[in-house]
Chain A
Amino acid sequence: MASMNMGMAVNNALALEMERDPNVFLLGEDVGLPGGVLGVTAGLQARFGEKRVLDTPISESAIIGAAVGAAACGLRPVAELMFVDFIGVCLDQLFNQAAKMRYMFGGKAKIPMVLRTCCGAGIGAAAQHSQSLEAWFMHIPGLKVVMPSTPYDAKGLLISAIRDDNPVVFLENKVLYQIEGEVPDEPYTIPIGEADIKREGGDVTMVATGQMVMRALAVAEKMAGEGVSVEVLDPRSLSPLDEEAILKSVKKTHRLVIVHEEVKFAGSGAEIAATVAEKAFDYLDAPVLRVAAPFCPVPFSSKLEAEFVPSEEKITGAVKTVMEG
């Protein structure tokens, strides 16, 4: 057991899987000696060599496409997209190739690849380096979409993603690169599609993802002091989505608040809310509330950025509202 941040946990998972399986290799911009723009893959090229950790030019289509092609031939590539915001320049390779190939070939192909990328606001990186685009990926049949909120989950989920025979988009919230947590030394897996109850409670279910899990937990702690018991559920993977766990929790608490960093309109919370409305409407004692970013690009100025990312105050407000409902 060691204390490490999410970046170190990801690095650790990559190293363990590369050690275990010679078919695992990394490719991306500056992932070699520099360890990527945020240093997540540091040390891996020195340890595993240039043939296992490939530095690429700025060629996102070729990075993802090369991963697709190599995966179709039986390798297990882990491609890094420097920021999720860059997906726009290479989306065809992900949604028309990676996601569809197996289906289009009647099940005759397997695409065991991982696309790692970082997302989220909070470091002053502005409109084109801070987005949360989970819903884009969720909408594509054939992909799995994973989003850890702790170093422990990141390691177990990434190992599962690498061993998975399907294309997995692995979303790392960049603020979480700075938050430490306890991580076991040995390899372990966390099943993709299994939610985790981060805090048990009986009055309100709060479904939160990525960085928002931390804020949800802080709010839950505060609300406990006011006599409100909040259950915090982290889906951990958005596709497949652990509907069963969400419904089970809502049937217990009868109230639901969804918190995410994506813009609210057509975000992942819309899917979760719709699922609960379809399958657990009669259990609800109050309308479902979403706390999410406003419908605008991520602003730069720290004051504006703080307004953009859902705050503990806004989350607290939503919990109080559903309690009154």
Chain B
Amino acid sequence: MRFKKKDLVRLYRNLVRARKFDQAAIRLLGEGKFTSFFHAAYGGEAPGVGGTTFLRQDDYIYAHHRGHGIPHAAGKGADLFSFMAEHCGKITGSCKGITGFHACDPEYGMLGAGGTIGSAFPVSVGWGLAAQKAGKGQVAVCFFGDSSAGRGTMHEGMNMAANWRLPVVWVCENNGMGQFVPIKDAYPLEDIASMAAAYGMPGVVVDGQDVVAVAEAVMAAVERARKGKGPSLVECKCLRFRPHVEGAPDWVHAEVRPAEEIERLKKRDPVTLYRKKLLKQGILTEKELEKIDGEIDAEVQEMERFCETGAYPDPSILQNALYAD
């Protein structure tokens, strides 16, 4: 897909929203207002944003656990306020405070968030089946981390989707690290994308720090899927600047990742890289970029007020949502 200026601006806005809401989440957790865990997306926002910004509202996405789906929700246009309030355990949360860090937004096709890593693959097959049957050209985009590729569910899901030529796009966010063990120590292959060959589908590797490159690769796969040509796998080589989970040391095996290494990685900050690109290409001026940044800062402040003022759910709702009538 060819991106017009307005597309590139939208991509910037979503990337900055992902960054600033993720940063806000880190802060809110520190202040005790986020009562859940938080697995920050910081440094790895581009795959979630680039992979969702140009999808249709009725496309399905399964968010990855980094940022708990903030980048994906930001790109898809889902309501980030209720998403954040959900993390505060408030009734104003998207799931009434019942689920916390596995938030959903069915209106925007966010119908799943799996605490059991790898549970996304089979469910995405089901979305693909429903999309294929509906015949409206919808796709299901399943984001997953490098470590999820170790689950047998990936094999089952990818095989089934490929065999039935389902409109599913698999997007691997490979930040090089499992929880504490580097991916190079967990897989014999350099690229997760090469596993695509086993299912007779295209597998490509893109620079996951380059939000435009991600968007191009994912949308090429999406267009292919919309045409009924079946699934593809896009692997985004990305980074994370924070530990696996906030509040814990950033272990690499039994050693803490050195601060200098993080500083080195930050030279490839996806937001900085994209800003430079937009300036260099004359798409946006410094002033225009700052204006967008300021608007999102204001949105974050408003979000915090929204989270703050929401009530906690009444215990009487405890079993309300369990069964449909």
- Residues of chain A touching chain B, judged by Cβ–Cβ distance below 8 Å, are 25, 51, 54, 56-57, 59-75, 77, 92-93, 96-97, 101-110, 112, 141-142, 144, 165-166
Contact = CB atoms under 8 A, between A and B. Distances in A.
Given A73-B126, A104-B104, A62 B95 contact: no
Interface of B: 60, 93-99, 102, 104, 106, 111-116, 119, 121-131, 133-134, 140, 152-153, 155-157, 159-160, 163-164, 320-325
6 contacts: A61-B156, A65-B156, A93-B123, A106-B94, A106-B96, A144-B323
Contacts of A67: 126
Q: Which 5 A-B pairs have the closest CB atoms?
A: A65-B122, A69-B126, A73-B130, A107-B321, A62-B156
Given A70-B130, A73-B131, A106-B99, A61 B112 contact: no
Contacts of A106: 93-99, 321
Contacts of A68: 122-123, 126
A277 B157 CA distance: 46
A65 B153 contact: yes
Contacts of B160: 56-57, 59, 62, 66
A105 B95 contact: yes
Contact of B125 (A66, A110, A165): A66
A97 B119 CA distance: 8
A18 to B, nearest CB: 14
Contacts of A70: 126-127, 129-130, 133
Nearest to A56: B160
Most buried by A among B95, B102, B125: B125
B112 A72 contact: yes
Nearest to B124: A69
Contacts of A101: 111-112
A221 to B, nearest CB: 38
A74 B130 contact: yes
A103 B129 contact: no
Nearest to B103: A105
Contacts of A63: 122
Most buried by B among A74, A77, A92: A92
Nearest to A144: B323
Nearest to B317: A106
Contacts of A59: 155-156, 159-160
A104 B126 contact: no
Given A66-B126, A66-B129, 6 more contacts: A62-B157, A65-B156, A67-B126, A97-B112, A103-B322, A142-B323
A123 to B, nearest CB: 28
A57 B163 CA distance: 10
B98 A61 contact: no
A105 B99 contact: yes
Most buried by A among B99, B127, B160: B160
Contact of A105 (B106, B126, B130, B134): B106
A86 to B, nearest CB: 13
A72 to B, nearest CB: 5
Most buried by A among B94, B98, B126: B126
A75 B156 contact: no
Contacts of A104: 95, 98-99, 102, 104, 113
Contacts of B128: 69
B133 A61 contact: no
A97 B157 CA distance: 15
Given A57-B159, A75-B133, A62 B153 contact: yes
B102 A108 contact: no
A120 B112 CA distance: 34
Contact of B123 (A56, A74, A97, A110): A97
B322 A96 contact: no
B60 to A, nearest CB: 7
A162 to B, nearest CB: 14
A92 B322 contact: no
B126 A72 contact: yes
Contacts of A144: 323
A105 B116 contact: no
Contacts of A74: 130
B47 to A, nearest CB: 21
B130 A102 contact: no
A65 B324 contact: no
Contacts of B124: 69
Contacts of B122: 61-66, 68-69, 93, 97
A71 to B, nearest CB: 7
A89 to B, nearest CB: 8
Nearest to B321: A107
Given A65-B122, A70-B130, A104-B99, A97 B159 contact: no
Nearest to B60: A73
